Amino acid sequence: MSNILTEKIKPEHLKKIEDLNNPSLNSLIEEVLTLCNPLKVFVCDDSDEDKNYIRQKAIETGEEKQLRLNNQTIHFDNYKDQARDKANTKILIENAKDFDPNLNSKERDEGLKEVKEILKNSMEDKELIIRFFSLGPSNSDFTIPAVQFTDSFYVSHSEGILYREGYKAFEKLENKERFLRFIHSQGELENGVSKNLDKRRIYIDRDHLTAYSTNTQYGGNTLGLKKLAMRLTIYLASREGWLTEHMFLMGVNGPNNRKSFFTGAFPSACGKTSTSMITGEKIIGDDIAYLKRKNGKIYAVNVEKGMFGIIEGVNPDDDPIIWKRLHENKETIFSNILIDNNNNPYWTGSGLEEPKEGINFSGPWQTGKKDENGNLIPPSHKNARFTLSLETLENCDENLHNPEGVPLSGIIYGGRDSDTSVPVEEAFDWKQGIIWKGASLESETTAATLGQEGVRKFNPMSNLDFLSVPISQYIDMNVKIAEGVDKLPMIFSVNYFLRDKNGKFLNDKTDKNVWLKWMELRVHNEVEALETPSGFIPKYEDLHKLFKSVLNKEYTKENYEQQFTIRIPENLDKIDRMEKIFKEKIPNASELIFSVLNEQRKKFQDFQSRLGDYISPFKL
Ligand code: SPV
Ligand code: MN
């Protein structure tokens, strides 16, 4: 053990490191200690004592405050640090100038120099926590071990809820180099929040499986295991022939106690969590999945074991399970919501009466409080979130930790699309599904990232923000995973955000329960469908039955016609937009992309010449 380790780390903690007997880990620790120069070092070996220490310290340091229910806490981020910072998140890479210009990258040497300069002595007055995790179920061919260095007890506490323990995985590590490395410092604090936001950096040293994050506290920028790991494992997957996807994973109950597994890729804040939490179904994950070919099928696991979900609009009608859970005295971290004078949590759209005053992400708050630009400050931030463990949800599926993963029957792509695609449609086949429904996904922007909302953006597989390999390569990986698979999952698209000409939403929030049941029947070929230019849609009679049985609702022909009218001009416009993007913006886009788009154009034009611009599903 080098001097700095013995000097900085107390013997009882050092022993935990020594026991892992990993030279690569030791030199990393040495590097981090030299760079960040922490006051103290705490090594967590996943014992209850260590985990409790982290929980307690999060409160002692003021990073979290206890609420009325004593297992619940609240954490606030800086007012301007409550979403992912895309501009300052960069992939560090050699020859960055030759990298895909659509991805935010930076020359590796320069980036490392810059971020290390910022991290220098950043922990002088802080305690460093070293903690081990395992992404994916333990003891599985999906498992990826990771180590997190952070000076934030909130970050460490959150990760303890969201990720599987990994100290044991490190003990067993066969390839002692294949683990992910995360180094985070919140930087200088003012009133408990990161102060130097101009020095906020999230840098991903891709080829070295290492990510740096500093001068930020918001989970999406700091929880190494979440979106930072995702960027690293997309790269790892590209080398090893599997996939890391921005997908929920769930079991959908079919007739005769059958359960079929689906993943769904949606951009942030577009209904991913709420779909995975549909009443009557089973959740395995709500954000990130690994997909692998095995036994002639595609298997998936949840990378995580918890949920860092958006809280706005969680109310007893639309999200009954989460709502109930959030009112139980079980370990929960709320972030950036309002705490009333009785220490109860309140968030916008909870269905409860809004308190007149309290404390929120802007400090002391009362009704009518305005920000520096004169805008009203809502009680909770739009991207306010809750952190909880999936095991505490009554609908958690028994396969959450299944080391085999679950075989997929269907893959769903969904975006925020006000005018183009129908609420649910099945793809013709794998390639058309991947290209037209996945790679050509567009979505209107949301509060989950800093910047303007409501702008239509190209977002292949809802994964653009997290890509660490060129877009064209990533799309090819998705096409190729099908090779050698006997029973491929079916691909579907959904759209919960379709509007009529007056801007009115055409779907109720609960309609998606029905779309899921329809998809479940389709993957078993138990229901017929109508052919459109871009796939297959449900028949009215089947939806009528399903609306009755699932929601006890009378589904009218008028509803059906409005929702499932094929909008030819909008689809043709979309094809033009996509062709332009792939031709002009995406280096090395494959021939397959253009041939699928071309085929789509021909089909839409053929339907248009026979049936007009807006085609009622009753005419199909
Ligand atoms: C998302 O924004 O996609 C999230 C939350 O899941 S974050 O941790 O910010 O990535
Ligand atoms: Mn996400």
Q: Which atom of ligand 1 is least distant from the CA of 448?
A: 2
**In a shared domain, residues 263 and 388:** no
Condensed to tens digits (0 to 9), the pLDDT of residues 146-195 reads: 999 999 999 999 999 999 999 999 999 999 999 999 999 999 999 889 99
478 near 244, Cβ under 8 Å?
no
- Average model confidence (pLDDT) for the chain? 97
Query: Is residue 614 domain-resident?
Result: no
**In a shared domain, residues 379 and 410:** no
337 near 345, Cβ under 8 Å?
yes
Query: Is residue 602 domain-resident?
Result: no
CA distance 154 to 160: 10
CA distance 287 to 136: 12
| Atom 8, ligand 1: residue with shortest CA distance | 220
| Atom 5, ligand 1: residue with shortest CA distance | 220
**In a shared domain, residues 386 and 511:** no
Predicted local distance difference test score (pLDDT) of residue 310: 95
Q: For a substitution probing ligand 1, which of 162, 246, 302, 308 has the most ligand atoms within 8 Å of its CB?
A: 308
| Domain end among 358, 392, 426 | 392
DSSP conformation class of 443: E
**In a shared domain, residues 115 and 194:** yes
Predicted local distance difference test score (pLDDT) of residue 430: 98
Predicted local distance difference test score (pLDDT) of residue 489: 98
Predicted local distance difference test score (pLDDT) of residue 269: 87
CA of 283 to the centre of ligand 1 (A): 18
Indicate which ligand has the atom closest to the C-alpha of 385. Answer: 1
**Residue 448 near ligand 1, beta carbon < 6 Å:** yes
Q: How many residues does the chain have?
A: 620
**Residue 268 near ligand 1, beta carbon < 6 Å:** yes
Bridge partners (DSSP) listed for residue 302: 289
**In a shared domain, residues 155 and 249:** no
SS (H, E, C) 277-333: CCCCCEEEECCCEEEEEECCEEEEEECCCEEEEECCCCCCCCCHHHHHHHCCCCCEE
**In a shared domain, residues 204 and 319:** no
Q: Is the pLDDT of residue 576 over 80?
A: yes
Domain holding 332: CATH number?
A: 2.170.8.10
CA of 447 to the centre of ligand 1 (A): 10
Query: Is residue 580 domain-resident?
Result: no
Indicate which ligand has the atom closest to the C-alpha of 82. Answer: 1
**Residue 227 near ligand 1, beta carbon < 6 Å:** yes
Predicted local distance difference test score (pLDDT) of residue 446: 81
State the Cα torsion 127-128-133-135 to the nearest 10°: 110
The count of other CB atoms within 10 Å of the CB of residue 328 is 13
Is 36 an annotated catalytic residue?
no
CA of 310 to the centre of ligand 1 (A): 9
Query: Is residue 435 domain-resident?
Result: yes
* Strands 490-494, 282-285: pairing kind: unpaired
| Domain end among 370, 392, 414 | 392
**In a shared domain, residues 229 and 275:** no
CA of 267 to the centre of ligand 1 (A): 9
CA of 268 to the centre of ligand 2 (A): 5
**Residue 220 near ligand 1, beta carbon < 6 Å:** yes
Q: Report how many domains make up the chain.
A: 3
Q: Is the pLDDT of residue 1 over 80?
A: no
Condensed to tens digits (0 to 9), the pLDDT of residues 325-342 reads: 999 999 999 999 999 999
CA distance 412 to 300: 14
State which amino acid sits at residue 484.
G
477 near 243, Cβ under 8 Å?
yes
Predicted local distance difference test score (pLDDT) of residue 449: 80
**What DSSP string describes 56-100?**
HHHHHTTSSEE-SSTTEEEE---TT-SSB-STTEEEEETTGGGS-
| Atom 2, ligand 1: residue with shortest CA distance | 268
CA of 458 to the centre of ligand 2 (A): 16
Q: Which atom of ligand 1 is least distant from the CA of 288?
A: 6
Q: For a substitution probing ligand 1, which of 227, 270, 275 has the most ligand atoms within 8 Å of its CB?
A: 227
Per-residue pLDDT band for 2 (boundaries 50, 70, 90) equals confident
Range from 44-48, 250-254, 290-294, 371-375 carrying the lowest mean pLDDT: 371-375
Query: Is residue 370 domain-resident?
Result: yes
Condensed to tens digits (0 to 9), the pLDDT of residues 193-223 reads: 999 999 999 999 999 999 999 999 999 999 9
State which amino acid sits at residue 586.
I
Host domain of residue 234:
3-65+78-240
**In a shared domain, residues 123 and 177:** yes
Helix, strand or coil, per DSSP, at residue 338:
strand
Q: Which atom of ligand 1 is least distant from the CA of 385?
A: 5
Query: Is residue 480 domain-resident?
Result: yes
Write the Ramachandran bin of 211: left for phi over 0, alpha for psi from -120 to 50, otherwise beta: beta
Q: For a substitution probing ligand 1, which of 77, 84, 225 has the most ligand atoms within 8 Å of its CB?
A: 84
pTM of the predicted model as reported, rounded to 2 decimal places: 0.97
**Residue 308 near ligand 1, beta carbon < 6 Å:** yes
* Strands 490-494, 406-414: pairing kind: parallel
**In a shared domain, residues 404 and 260:** yes
Q: Is the pLDDT of residue 490 over 80?
A: yes
Q: Is 359 exposed, middle or buried (0-12, 13-18, 19+ CB in 10 A)?
A: middle
CA of 336 to the centre of ligand 2 (A): 17
| Domain end among 392, 410, 435 | 392
Per-residue pLDDT band for 452 (boundaries 50, 70, 90) equals confident
CA distance 163 to 496: 30
Condensed to tens digits (0 to 9), the pLDDT of residues 94-122 reads: 999 999 999 999 999 999 999 999 999 99
Q: Which atom of ligand 1 is least distant from the CA of 267?
A: 3
Q: Which atom of ligand 1 is least distant from the CA of 449?
A: 2
Domain holding 51: CATH number?
A: 3.40.449.10
CA distance 578 to 581: 5
Condensed to tens digits (0 to 9), the pLDDT of residues 496-538 reads: 999 998 989 999 999 999 999 999 999 999 999 999 999 999 9
| Atom 4, ligand 1: residue with shortest CA distance | 268
Q: Which atom of ligand 1 is least distant from the CA of 84?
A: 9
CA distance 448 to 434: 25
Q: For a substitution probing ligand 1, which of 226, 270, 388, 459 has the most ligand atoms within 8 Å of its CB?
A: 226
Q: Which of 36, 44, 270, 396 is catalytic?
A: 270
Predicted local distance difference test score (pLDDT) of residue 195: 96
423 near 376, Cβ under 8 Å?
no
Percent of the chain with pLDDT over 90: 95
270 near 418, Cβ under 8 Å?
no
Query: Is residue 581 domain-resident?
Result: no
Query: Is residue 369 domain-resident?
Result: yes
Domain holding 417: CATH number?
A: 3.90.228.20
**In a shared domain, residues 387 and 411:** no
Predicted local distance difference test score (pLDDT) of residue 164: 98
**In a shared domain, residues 30 and 168:** yes
309 near 337, Cβ under 8 Å?
no
**In a shared domain, residues 209 and 99:** yes
CA of 246 to the centre of ligand 2 (A): 6
Q: Which atom of ligand 1 is least distant from the CA of 268?
A: 3
| Atom 1, ligand 1: residue with shortest CA distance | 268
**Residue 226 near ligand 1, beta carbon < 6 Å:** yes
